[in-house]
Amino acid sequence: MNQDSTERIVTALSDWIAHAAPGARLPSNRALMARHGASPVTVQKAMRRLAALGLIESRPGVGTFTRAGRTARAADYGWQTAALGTPPARMPVLSSTQRTVAPDAIALHSGYPAPELLPERLVRQALGRAARRNTAVLRSPAAGSPDLQAWFAGELASAAPVGVTPASARDSLIIAGSQSGLSSIFRAVVGVGQPLLIESPTYWGAILAAAQAGVELVPVPAGPEGPDPEAVARAFAESGARGFYAQPSFANPTGAVWPEATRSAVLELVRRNGAFLIEDDWAHDLAIDAAPRPIAAEDEDGHVIYLRSLTKSVSPALRVAAVIARGPARDRILADRAAESMYVSGLLQAAVLDVVTQPAWRTHLRGLREQLRARRDLLLDALREHAPTATVETVPRGGLNLWVRLPDGSDAEQVVRECAARGVVLAPGSEWFPAEPSGAFVRLNYSGEGPERFPEAAGVLGDVLSGS
């Protein structure tokens, strides 16, 4: 199709321009027609797109040139220092998990699975259908599309024991990814200067959202079996906190799954303390050796605020998640979301719902489980063979990551830097600790990089650790 040849030329020339000097002359239209086997109309269309993108400018009678940057004078924004004052909290813009790396590096640092682990065909088809429906041009309600609300509520209800009244569709609020949910929950339910219990180590994004909301974190140590309920009880008593943020299933980064006794003890503790458990079920669709079992399904007094995202299992581009909460907490979270962003694109909501209600979605999840298991085991094997001094305390029963303890006395940041210099990108464990790290750790994602590169990566880590 003509449209596609235009796009092809636009893409090729954008690449060329990216590497050309500002003011460089573009090949003539005639040369472009020859090179791309395209008609004059197609080439002209491509040039108009590039001009609209601000990449080129044509000087009639002379030729077409990459756009020369205007000569910028050095700006001094020093006056802003007085207007802005000291920042309320040290907030890094980027976690090391979000770093862009050289294309030939072995990337084990990111928090996302590789595109080949996503239901790519379902996503593209669903988007195509959503583009043809009214969802392409309409607003969504603030709480989300009622169908998608019902789906999230139904997923949780399907895990509810007999006799427990499950949360309703109305209790399920659609948000643009779980980070938005964390921010709203911390602002609306915890509040500035208020204490919040949090596992240590835990998801860095939750630590970041808490810093932004001005929440005071109270770390509770969490090992391969999650937190010790006695420690949770003490932390509630000492801090007077009204909330506990936790990942009871396949915790990020440790992979821990809370045993039954911990689940019921913590649920009892939040009830007794008139508090909320903020349950982040981030890896619900990323289970490997254990079924996901949301604690929220066992709560009927509104003590559990539940977060589930589809960003990592459907597609990072379909940024959709839900908060399920009941009572006044639900109303406050919704009011905060509405003030923060009004509503979530109904198109993304329609596409996500389409994907997860196709029969092929269940098939995909079964296949994903096998692939995650194989990748996890390959990385474990590679570490055992090539980096024997690095240890993995918990073999994760779900999720995307290995939490690797380095030998005593290691400097994790230094190890990460040396691995990076040899082309292997890891994430330093310190980012997952709300206070000082309890040891030297690195986090390795086994779902983002091709498993054929795991031995090489483990070899580099082993060499760095042995100082060779």
Q: Which of residues 60-119 bind a copy of itself (CB under 8 A)?
A: 70, 72-73, 75-77, 79-85, 87-88, 91-94, 98, 100, 112, 115, 118
Strand blocks (E) in 349-466: 391-392, 401-405, 424-425, 427-428, 441-445
| Helix, strand or coil, per DSSP, at residue 403 | strand
Binding residues for a copy of itself, how many (CB under 8 A)?
Answer: 111
Chosen residue from 346, 396, 399, 429 binding a copy of itself by CB under 8 A: 346
136 binds a copy of itself (CB under 8 A): yes
294 binds a copy of itself (CB under 8 A): no
230 binds a copy of itself (CB under 8 A): no
Q: How far apart (Å, rounded) are the C-alpha atoms in residues 164 and 152?
A: 17
326 binds a copy of itself (CB under 8 A): yes
Chosen residue from 180, 200, 247, 252 binding a copy of itself by CB under 8 A: 180
Residues 233-272 that bind a copy of itself (CB under 8 A): 242-243
Residue 43 has what DSSP assignment? Answer: H
Nearer to a copy of itself, 249 or 311 (CB): 311
The contacts of residue 272 (CB under 8 Å, 6+ apart) are none
Q: Does a cis peptide bond (omega within 30 degrees of 0) precede residue 201?
A: yes
Chosen residue from 12, 101, 159, 338 binding a copy of itself by CB under 8 A: 338
Phi, psi angle pair for 14, to nearest 5°: -60, -45
Strand blocks (E) in 131-194: 172-175
Stretch that binds a copy of itself, among 178-186, 279-287, 384-392, 397-405 (CB under 8 A): 178-186
Q: For residues 344 and 175, is the Cβ–Cβ distance under 8 A?
A: yes
132 binds a copy of itself (CB under 8 A): yes
Nearer to a copy of itself, 132 or 409 (CB): 132
309 binds a copy of itself (CB under 8 A): no
374 binds a copy of itself (CB under 8 A): no
The contacts of residue 419 (CB under 8 Å, 6+ apart) are 425, 426, 460, 461, 464
Residue 103 CA from chain centroid, whole number: 21
151 binds a copy of itself (CB under 8 A): yes
- DSSP bridge pairs for 183: none
407 binds a copy of itself (CB under 8 A): no
